[in-house]
Amino acid sequence: MTKYTSEYFTNPDGLKQHYRDYNNAPEGALTVLCMPGLTRNSKDFAGIAEHLSSKYRVICVEQRGRGLSDWDHDPSRYRPDIYVEDMKALIEHLGLDQVVALGTSLGGLMTIMMSAMFPGIFKAAIINDIGPEVDPKGIERIMSYVGKGTPPQTWDEVIKATKLANTGVYPDFTDAEWLAFAKKLYTEVDGIPTVQYDPAIRNNFEGQSDQSAPDLWPVFEATKGFPMVVVRGEVSDILSHETLMKMADVHPDLTPVTVPGVGHVPFLTEQECTTAIDKLLASIS
């Protein structure tokens, strides 16, 4: 496995946030900042980091309340605008003026927001299965399980719960793949599998469409200044085919990629993804 170090920075509210630093590339290489989805953590990007880190420095961050990052004692601060400010603090902590964004789901929304709030901060972007317009049906599915239910006590229970929530997302998974996926979502604490996020992250999404399904088409205009790859799972219930095609129509340098047979979200290690990502990064290196 590609080596990384576990590092921390302090966000504007004084919380410690964790990130994996795959710093194996030659000095002066581009830095790819990987920002995960709502309940996800740095493990999500292990595969694509393995693929990229011989040529590019890869930073895989964990938002407040996720993974090894501090939980926020004020759950009202679990909001995209706050996360965006955290990412600006991380980029400054790294001593960088510009990075390549790789944002999955929530991380993709943050990428769009950051491009408007901090012009010039991105040299390019890869957005994974999200767009300026989010399908409410997908949000309903995600919120049906985030922070709910009785926590599983065994790995068998974890796998059962993971399958229940994601069977339509990864319909062809084997038992081994379900276990590997579950271990990205959970960690073992005192012998018990424990989900790697603060259940309170759901609070600001309940009944607030500006948080769960914002209209970012006006903000999306700011992404036109840099090249972009947008990935969609073929059966995604978050990013529709129509929205992806509209993004490609309005953005002058956007490559749409569809991964067959999966939903929200692709893992980015699929051949369609690595080919498009490699081409994008080579074009700006």
**Domain assignment of residue 119, yes or no:** yes
Contact 214, 88 (CB under 8 A): no
Q: The domain that contains 100 carries what CATH number?
A: 3.40.50.1820
For residue 176, being part of any structural domain is answered with no
Query: Is residue 98 a part of any domain in this protein?
Result: yes
Whether residue 20 lies inside any domain: the answer is: yes
Sign of the C-alpha dihedral computed for residues 51, 55, 56 and 57 taken in this order = positive
Q: How far apart are CA 186 and CA 219, in angstroms?
A: 34
Model pLDDT for residues 124-182, shown as the tens digit of each residue: 999 999 999 988 777 777 766 676 667 888 999 999 988 888 888 898 899 899 999 99
109: pLDDT confidence band, cut at 50, 70 and 90? very high
CA 264, CA 186: separation in Å to the nearest integer?
A: 19
> What pLDDT shows up at residue 150?
75
Report pLDDT digits (tens) over 221-271: 999 999 999 999 999 999 999 999 999 999 999 999 999 999 999 999 999
Inside any domain, residue 227: yes
Counting the structural domains of the chain, the total is 1
Sign of the CA dihedral 219, 208, 131, 244?
Answer: negative
Q: Is residue 39 part of a domain?
A: yes
146 domain-assigned: no
Question: What domain range includes position 83?
Answer: 5-135+214-284
- Please report whether residue 203 resides in a domain: no
Q: Which residues contact 158 (CB under 8 A, 6 or more apart)?
A: 152, 182, 185, 186, 193
- Confidence (pLDDT) at 66: 97
Order of strands across the sheet that contains 99-104: 5-10, 16-22, 57-61, 31-35, 99-104, 122-128, 228-233, 254-259
pLDDT (tens digit per residue) in 51-74 = 999 999 999 999 999 999 999 999
